[in-house]
A and B are shown apart, each in its own frame.
Chain A
């Protein structure tokens, strides 16, 4: 166990070092892109707590990101709140919404929960359109661009990178501590067998609802950061398909693999923000000659990859890698 702990800490330190040094070696706009990836990473982190450890499927986490995003937008523009302070508030508002969803979620399992959360993803964007005086409707809310605080000597994009990945590291540490302790073990028990968990005294309701709330908090923080970085919010900034991508990236990357989560975040970024590049890369293949301006290929490729991975590697790529390396590492483990 101590070796595993050492590996985990090593991974964390490696990531932290990367966060500190990477912005100095990449172009300014690349720092911006990496920051956006960081935001998706935070959302995936939260989702992994819910689905990976708690076993509850949510196809609606884009809605929680949107709640966070709207909180930031409305507080910044209508109430002049400094953008940094809106982040924890956005997380808390989204977290509260998550708790609310978590309560009826108690009585729904598996497919039914997926159905309901899918319904949330589809119908949530309608609320800001209806109450458009408050939310700005489809026209949306325009914010000012982010600028580094206290006259810090860095560019806005690099500041975004540090802010996002700094928060990501903190949230990662929090999640890790949470999952190593009693709540984490309780969640895993719930995931593996609800009936067994309940009969052994685990308070099902509390942990399941808590998992929803926490994962929604993370999504809200991610949403707040995203809106800060693009300076715009409307009901379609976090579209239905994003909720699907979140769960899909989690499934592919492996539910509890750090590298998988980061890679998954990268994949989401490419699909959401750079999909024409996917077509451009594919055009390097001799048989294909697609118009990069024509959408569709990235969806097809991603869908095929999804299906293929699910059929071949039900534990996701991360889980698969872990199984490959397990014979190696278990030798390490057995020594301790």
Chain B
């Protein structure tokens, strides 16, 4: 085999870890895609929004609430936060130059990061997740309950969102507003609020990703920074305007990255990021639509 100390047990464990990482990337990538589809903005602040929500959860738990009691409160706060950000900060620059939009989301990231340091301090802290760190035996391989839990929660969330988009009126309105704002207005869709809704949902997705990964990575203001790059890679891999692509891309990326890190010694943990970057680059050059997305034709 590729490595001298290969065991099937470890392979299964690394695979589980890869799927777990992938679930996190998928959640964040989905958030990025939802925002991109609706407002054509790449939200560089997505990671900081997620970490911020996680800190709110930590504070709530610090005041005595259990994780699952704090969970819905955090989601509500994240949702409202996302909506508020879209309405106040993004709305005015929706049609501005690319540079302006980029600077605004970067500025947002700086503000959130600074606020987190101010309010909670920059130190790393443990985060008591909802899942125990014990392992269960799956066909002779000890798999952590936490990994299973993370994957299950992520999939449930994605599933709920998919149902929402497909079968509810609001979801339909959101899709319409993203696809063709002008026509949607004609049919009575309140496009402005749909876009804000998109941001709110993206914030919720980010919050869940953050709360799921914090027990593993430990909570600090910079927790999501490298994950954000992987999430971008996953979103591009799946196609920036395809929600399904984001999820598939996320899982795929998580597994591939974990396997590369473990079994290709040259890459190890240090070169994971450059590899992800290279992936984004090659994809954008060769197949900008990714796996499931569409390329807009530039009309002259």
Contacts and interface: CB of A to CB of B under 8 A. Distances in A.
Contacts of A127: 271, 274
B225 A294 contact: no
B27 to A, nearest CB: 19
A115 B107 contact: no
B98 A295 contact: no
B97 interface: yes
B110 A303 contact: yes
B279 to A, nearest CB: 9
A18 interface: no
A129 B271 CA distance: 9
A299 B117 contact: yes
Contact of A124 (B99, B114, B236, B274): B274
Contacts of A112: 284, 288
A244 interface: yes
B229 interface: yes
A297 B268 CA distance: 36
Interface string B76-118: 0000000000000100110011111111101111111111111
B280 A119 contact: yes
Interface string B261-278: 000000010111110110
Interface residues of B, number: 53
B42 A111 contact: yes
A251 interface: yes
Interface residues of A, number: 47
A126 B274 contact: yes
A248 interface: yes
A13 to B, nearest CB: 31
A130 B275 CA distance: 12
Contacts of A59: 102, 106
Chain A binding surface SS class: helix
B58 interface: no
Given A119-B232, A299-B113, A311-B93, A294 B118 contact: yes
B107 to A, nearest CB: 3
B285 to A, nearest CB: 6
B25 interface: no
Contacts of B106: 59, 244, 247-248, 306
Contact of A300 (B89, B114, B122, B288): B114
B277 A104 contact: no
Interface in A175-197: 195
A102 to B, nearest CB: 13
A303 B108 contact: yes
Nearest to A302: B110
Given A51-B99, A126-B273, A300 B118 contact: yes
A110 B98 contact: yes
Contact of A311 (B104, B268, B280, B281): B104
A171 interface: no
A119 B281 contact: yes
B268 to A, nearest CB: 7
Given A108-B284, A118-B44, A124-B274, A306 B97 contact: no
A304 B111 contact: yes
B111 A300 contact: yes
B236 A294 contact: no
Contacts of A122: 225-226, 229, 273, 277
B230 to A, nearest CB: 10
Nearest to A255: B99
B121 interface: yes
A57 B99 contact: yes
A120 interface: yes
Given A248-B106, A251-B100, A300 B92 contact: no
Interface in B25-82: 40, 42, 44
- 9 smallest CB-CB distances across A and B, nearest first, come from A299-B114, A296-B117, A303-B110, A306-B107, A303-B111, A300-B114, A296-B118, A110-B98, A123-B273
20 contacts: A108-B284, A111-B101, A114-B98, A116-B280, A119-B276, A123-B273, A124-B274, A126-B272, A126-B274, A127-B274, A247-B99, A294-B117, A294-B118, A296-B113, A297-B118, A302-B110, A303-B110, A303-B112, A306-B104, A306-B107
